[in-house]
Structure 1
Amino acid sequence: MKKIGLAVCYDTKNFGSQLQVLATVKKVEELGYKSEIIRYKKKITPTFIVQTIPRLFNISFVKSKLSGNQKDKALKSKPFYQKQVQQRNQRFNAFVDKYFAPLFSESYGGWETLVAKCKKNYDAFLCGSDQLWLPNNLGSHFYTLEFAPDNKPKIAYATSFGVSQIPDGQKKATAKYLNRFQHLSTRELAGQKIIKELTGKMAQVVCDPTLLFDAEGWKQMLPEKKIVEEPYVFCYFLGTNEEHRKIANEFKSKTGLKLVTCPFLDNYVECDLNFGDIQLFDMDAADFVNLIRHAEYILTDSFHGSVFSILNHKKFMTFNRFNAGANSRNSRIDSLCTLLGLSERRYSGNVMDVKNGIDYNAVEEKLKKLRAESAKYLKDALKEN
């Protein structure tokens, strides 16, 4: 049996990231292949320093690091919430131990070891999904599969750039790693355009791994249970826009429904201290899915918040987490809504529109076609190697 080395972002403290990894490994397994999650432990070596220096001049990369430091610093001044966030992080780690640890490779310490071990241990390599090709990540050289041998197949499944345009200074390096892939697919229409412009290749637009399974398929992986007993609106905001919280409170006042929130996931937002009637910290990715399954409505700025709302045929409204522009990371939600005919579920000024009905029969027809085409792409890519 062929052995596939997976370059996936399994250890991020993010529900969507962990769920797309779970879907990826389950689908590869379902297609009849053995897979292993590649664990790369960086070492401070001359090679690592040379690879890392360019990232220090990447404004987006520096901003993301500063944002993380700001969150940690803010939470230190709020011991109660700091403890709650630590508890949630333990649940993230427990999810990894349960679902991913059995698939872990040995720890490959340092770039040279990573290159040598992967050359020996795998028949092919797959990266995806998530925003692994963000311009911020270019300097890591891992999710671009630059460690994989030239003579072994490299597959990208639904890998996302997260932006609609690559910075001019990174176009040459981006084209170089893309041209090493034998099979290219992306999650967004914008990503398809980027690949075409940089390589001349027509990459297939495929669905996020989480969409490869329907609601029943997910129940097989993550059993159904109620997290909150009373009727509620699940407000899943990862961004910092305080106006979105005000709009959610407006919806609460008009409906009388309580708001369930998950504060301080990606960012520290001061107003989130008092946002939500039920604030949840002791939860994992399975609880996240179940909160969506049983919500009356979902208000979110999250891609995977939108995905699982769709899979479970919920009434939802998606807000833009990022400002518009070439470096905006809204493109994945743009593509999702365009491909499934759900553009009216984007917030456009009236939160009460979330109560409008959705023709999920039409959505399912589009989704089934996209799911079948995406599964065929992955099956064919793995089979050819």
Structure 2
Amino acid sequence: MKGTVGIVDFHAATNYGSALLAYALQRVVSDMGYDCSIINYQPQKQVDGYRLPILVSRHPVKRWIESLCWLPYNKQMKRKVDKFKSFAHDYMRLTPYCCDPSKINEECGTFDYYIAGGDQIWNTGCFEFEWYYYLDFVRNGKKIAYAPSMGPNGRKTIPAHLAERVRREVKTYQAVAVRDSGTAAFFDSNLPVVLDPTMLLDVEEWNKLAGDSPLIKGEYVFYYDPFDHEVGKNAAREYAVEHGYRIVSSNIYMIFQKDTRTFDYRLDAGPLEFLNFVKYAKYCIGRSFHLCVFSLLFRKEFQMADGLIDARNRELAESLWGDVERLSKAGDNDMIVSATDYTAEVETRFRDLRESSLLFLNKALNS
């Protein structure tokens, strides 16, 4: 082995993108010949934030009513959480668990290299944010940032009173590459922008995890938006009616807004089921960066509601297609990708981006 690597990310979140990118980055680093583990620290804020049922109302009475509305779905949601835990157990190499930030080094161990890896871990506005995600606990060892993000609004996410500390923490890194130009723009230097960790794995790896047969029988549209915005749901309804497909969804955010007449909810879907739903869908619609990513990886036809005004989705599309206005076939802000958009030129651009991203990671670990 070339050395030990500890990865910091949102691996324990009940979130498809977070779990799948954690697996991907660890897999890639391990394949490079390193003894790689995910540091199994989980902030109490994250534990509380994903506690079932998910209640979004602020008023006590509304929260009580909300909890009652969730009752028919509690068993499904519990199965989803269990599937996320099983995925972590089966596909991630984790250190011992720790929930005390002062004991991370003691309980999780120390490493030759530390990677702040992917997702919005540098978004100080995330409900589970802690300075841990900037690797402030590291005393020895090389610090590397691979594709962390400050979120959809990039540098605007960081409030003025935290900006100095963010810069001070990142100055202690030996190698830094971020997921988007909005995050890079926060810093004075021209940081490289690299692909999300999920895009480093060959699609055949994702095909294996997704399975050889569809879990949903018949033709369907797969809809996913972690926050269930109406614009995405309306786009799914319109497409399904026009083409005669059913709509499958693995998520409800606001229980008051569930639509069981139109949506076939599969709320017990874990990371593997999510991959399967995307792989075998006739069409994917939503407002999710990782739905966009996996639709691209599986070469699906898909629609990102308001995708052209989501900086993350737009920048990813620009890196592959250049002029993304050509993807606005409806003449609005939706990003629509059809089978004919996957040209040889796009395949070449994707291959080049993947190679350059892997090269950065390899050099960061070897220099």
**In which range does the TM-score fall when normalised by the shorter chain?**
0.7 to 0.9
Contact 1:313–1:360 (Cα < 8 Å) also in 2: no
Give the letter for the 2:94 counterpart: F
Contact 2:235–2:305 (Cα < 8 Å) also in 1: no
- Pick aligned residue for 2:74 from 69, 82, 85: 82
SS of 2:174's partner is: coil
Find the counterpart in structure 2 of residue 24 from structure 1: 25
Give the letter for the 1:123 counterpart: D
Contact 1:239–1:321 (Cα < 8 Å) also in 2: no
Taking structure 2 as the reference length, the TM-score comes to 0.86
Residue 152 in 1 paired to residue 141 in 2?
A: yes
Contact 2:114–2:143 (Cα < 8 Å) also in 1: yes
Taking structure 1 as the reference length, the TM-score comes to 0.82
How far apart are 1:32 and its partner, in Å? 0.4
SS of 2:115's partner is: strand
Provide the rounded CA distance (Å) in 1 between the counterparts of 2:143 and 2:273: 34
- Pick aligned residue for 1:107 from 78, 86, 97: 97
Give the letter for the 2:321 counterpart: G
1:153/1:88 Cα in 2 relative to 1: closer, same or farther (>3 Å)? same
Contact 1:7–1:125 (Cα < 8 Å) also in 2: yes
1:140/1:278 Cα in 2 relative to 1: closer, same or farther (>3 Å)? same
Answer with 331-340 or 365-374: which moved more. Answer: 331-340
Give the letter for the 1:334 counterpart: R
Residue 305 in 1 paired to residue 291 in 2?
A: yes
Provide the rounded CA distance (Å) in 2 between the counterparts of 1:358 and 1:378: 29
Counterparts of 1:53-202 in structure 2 under 5 Å?
69-70=55-56, 74-100=66-92, 103-108=93-98, 110-116=100-106, 121-137=110-126, 140-149=130-139, 151-162=140-151, 163-164=153-154, 165=156, 166-196=158-188, 201-202=189-190
Give the letter for the 1:180 counterpart: T
Residue 7 in 1 paired to residue 8 in 2?
A: yes
Find the counterpart in structure 2 of residue 315 from structure 1: 301
Provide the rounded CA distance (Å) in 1 between the counterparts of 2:28 and 2:149: 18
Deviation readout 1:198-244 (Å, 9 max, x if unpaired) = xxx33211000111123213224543331112111111122232232
Find the counterpart in structure 2 of residue 56 from structure 1: none
Answer with 121-130 or 244-253: which moved more. Answer: 244-253
Contact 1:39–1:106 (Cα < 8 Å) also in 2: yes
Show structure 1 runs of 5+ residues with no match. 44-51, 53-62, 325-329
Answer with 212-221 or 127-136: which moved more. Answer: 212-221
Residue 341 in 1 paired to residue 321 in 2?
A: yes
Show structure 2 runs of 5+ residues with no match. 58-62
- Pick aligned residue for 2:248 from 260, 266, 283: 260
1:382/1:275 Cα in 2 relative to 1: closer, same or farther (>3 Å)? farther
Find the counterpart in structure 2 of residue 227 from structure 1: 215
Residue 371 in 1 paired to residue 354 in 2?
A: yes
Aligned residues: 349
Provide the rounded CA distance (Å) in 2 between the counterparts of 1:202 and 1:258: 46
- Pick aligned residue for 2:340 from 357, 361, 370: 357
How far apart are 1:152 and its partner, in Å? 2.0
1:353/1:19 Cα in 2 relative to 1: closer, same or farther (>3 Å)? closer
Deviation readout 1:304-356 (Å, 9 max, x if unpaired) = 1011111111111112389x6xxxxx332122111111734467549796657
Provide the rounded CA distance (Å) in 1 between the counterparts of 2:263 and 2:43: 42
Answer with 203-212 or 86-95: which moved more. Answer: 86-95
Provide the rounded CA distance (Å) in 2 between the counterparts of 1:139 and 1:233: 34
Provide the rounded CA distance (Å) in 1 between the counterparts of 2:72 and 2:263: 17
Provide the rounded CA distance (Å) in 1 between the counterparts of 2:37 and 2:170: 22
Contact 2:69–2:256 (Cα < 8 Å) also in 1: no
Residue 210 in 1 paired to residue 198 in 2?
A: yes
Give the letter for the 1:303 counterpart: F
How far apart are 1:277 and its partner, in Å? 4.1
SS of 1:36's partner is: strand
Give the letter for the 1:335 counterpart: E
Identity across matched positions, percent: 25
SS of 1:263's partner is: coil
Provide the rounded CA distance (Å) in 1 between the counterparts of 2:243 and 2:227: 24
Contact 1:260–1:278 (Cα < 8 Å) also in 2: yes
Provide the rounded CA distance (Å) in 2 between the counterparts of 1:378 and 1:352: 30
